[in-house]
Amino acid sequence: MKRLVRETIEDYCREHSASPSALLQELEAYTIAHCAQSQMLTGAIEGALLRILVQLTGAHRILEIGMFTGYSALTMAEALPEGGTILSCDVNPETTAIARSFFERSPHGRKIEVHLGPALETLAALPTDRNFDLVFIDADKESYLNYYEAALPRLRAGGLLVADNVLWSGAVLKPERPSDHAIVAFNDRVKRDTRVENVMLTVRDGVTLVRKR
Ligand SMILES: C[S@@+](CC[C@H](N)C(=O)[O-])C[C@H]1O[C@@H](n2cnc3c(N)ncnc32)[C@H](O)[C@@H]1O
């Protein structure tokens, strides 16, 4: 992932944002040491943003699409009130096992319901009345539009959908690869969608906040 914000500015932002818990810091270090593509992990600044969004929206029911080693799930779980839940989806058994091992060490881990399998299948198999207050999309970019269309009907009116990597290292300005075009199509769809209002933020690799009307 190409850095879009200058490194010194990002460092300054991180130093002046709420710090992750000791367990999250350990999870990040473990992921960097043991996992390919460790840059996929959301990290401290976006994690602090997710925590504030969970608290501001008063979310109790969260859907996460793309868990990886569990950094964003555990971050949001720490911000959720007692009784709150996160349904988190991923297809990778190895990174899911790492995530589970860290969730077990946290008092907030029991809030996270892990679903191993393609997220669209997981969503399709949920009871029709299973709805969410907050949705975080952070999985394979080619499927962003499908995730959006599958998740939006399950988001309560006034609920928040957060999509990560919407600038895709800047490739949205000159799309070439299928994933570039998929992110461009997603961004265009959200902007035109009368069911929602949104703002695109230049946090990390780009984060879009979508509020369902
Ligand atoms: C960018 S990472 C998620 C990072 C995570 N949110 C974090 O903060 O560490 C993307 C994840 O999406 C998962 N993924 C890819 N295709 C998927 C699918 N069809 N359904 C569910 N998850 C998928 C990958 O296995 C990968 O772990």
Give the whole-angstrom CA distance, residue 143 versus residue 28: 26
- The whole-number pLDDT of residue 2 equals 85
Q: Model pTM?
A: 0.98
Q: What share of the chain in percent tops pLDDT 90?
A: 98
pLDDT at res. 205: 96
Residue 60 pLDDT class (50, 70, 90 cuts): very high
Q: What is the pLDDT of residues 6-35, one digit of tens each?
A: 999 999 999 999 999 999 999 999 999 999
Q: Per-residue pLDDT for 39 more than 90?
A: yes
pLDDT in tens, 79-98: 999 999 999 999 999 999 99
**Mean pLDDT, residues 193-202:** 98
Find out whether the beta carbon of 133 lies less than 6 Å from any atom of ligand 1. Answer: no
Residues paired with 63 in a beta bridge: 87, 135
Any ligand 1 atom below 6 A from CB of 140: yes
Q: Quick check: 107 pLDDT over 90?
A: yes
Sheet holding 61-65, edge to edge: 112-116, 85-90, 61-65, 132-137, 155-164, 207-212, 196-201
Q: Which tokens is 5 given?
A: 């914000």
Task: Please choose from 68, 71, 114, 146 the residue to mutate so as to test ligand 1's pocket, defined by most ligand atoms within 8 A of CB.
Answer: 68
Q: Measured between alpha carbons, how far is 12 from 82 in angstroms, rounded to an integer? A: 33
The reply to whether ligand 1 has any atom less than 6 angstroms from the CB of 139 is: yes
In 1-65, where does DSSP find H-type helix?
7-15, 22-34, 43-57
Longest dimension (CA), the chain: 47
Instruction: Give the residue, out of 37, 38, 40, 54, with the most ligand 1 atoms within 8 A of its beta carbon, to mutate for a pocket test.
Output: 40
What pLDDT, on the 0 to 100 scale, is given for residue 49? 98
What does the pLDDT look like over 128-143, one tens digit per residue?
Answer: 999 999 999 999 999 9
